[in-house]
Amino acid sequence: MAPRKKELIYSELKKKILGMKIRPHEVLKEEEVAARFGVSRTPAREALQLLEKEGFLAQLKKVGYVVRPLTRNDLKEIIEVRSVLEGYAAHLATLRRDPKTIARLRKINQKARRYLADNDLQRFFKNSSEFHDVIYQSSGNTRLCALIESLRDNFLRYRRMLLRIPKMPEVQIRDHEEMLDAMESGNGRLVEKMVREHIILGGEILLRHIEKEPVVE
């Protein structure tokens, strides 16, 4: 069955919001979205309402829908929760000790080095997301994965910013390599600690960067 118009509009707008092609505070009007996609106002309205429900948009009377920025407090809370959930997911993945998973993760991290050397940041971003996705999925806990993904989508806009900060891509590659060494040894508690510290440190650097170049107020 072909995707409905509402889903297509929702998917395209969400992709642009996450990629910062539609930026925080930008206004989306129902009639303009309908015209852009060549549809009636009903599927446009439904797509915008769905994005509002997920926290990407806020509706303002007589204005339309505004792309909702994450405040510093939003980011801080998301980073704190992500550190706990993703750390535990990595702990569970380590206990499973699947050699194929670790080999796949090492291959992904090797590709990250190549993308960085080529200055191919678009592929580097996708590679980073794939690395984390493989760890979540390897935890074997579908509810945990769903919770992580619900936080990840809204944060993705700002992860791109984090990876543009000088030296951060190199730090990510190094941290991922050390995590994999700990996973291979089967030390779940150590891996959990490393993942939590990795996320918290990255979050602190991101928040400091935003203070200098604000985009979320």
Give the whole-number percent of the chain exceeding pLDDT 90: 66
Beta strands in 16-113 (DSSP E): 27-28, 57-60, 64-67
Assess if residue 217 is contained within a domain. no
Identify the CATH number of the domain in which residue 62 sits. Answer: 1.10.10.10
Per-residue pLDDT of 153-164, as tens digits, reads 777 777 777 878
Based on the domain organization, do 17 and 100 belong to the same domain? no
Based on the domain organization, do 56 and 123 belong to the same domain? no
Indicate yes or no: pTM above 0.85.
Answer: no
Per the listing, tokens 């993945």 go with: 93
Work out whether the CA dihedral 184, 97, 150, 47 comes out positive or negative: positive
Q: How far apart are CA 106 and CA 100, in angstroms?
A: 10
Examine the pLDDT at 188 and tell me if it is beyond 90. yes
Based on the domain organization, do 97 and 179 belong to the same domain? yes
Based on the domain organization, do 112 and 168 belong to the same domain? yes
Assess if residue 20 is contained within a domain. yes
Examine the pLDDT at 75 and tell me if it is beyond 90. no
Residue 22 DSSP one-character state? S
Q: Could you list the residue range(s) of the whole structural domain that residue 178 is in?
A: 72-212
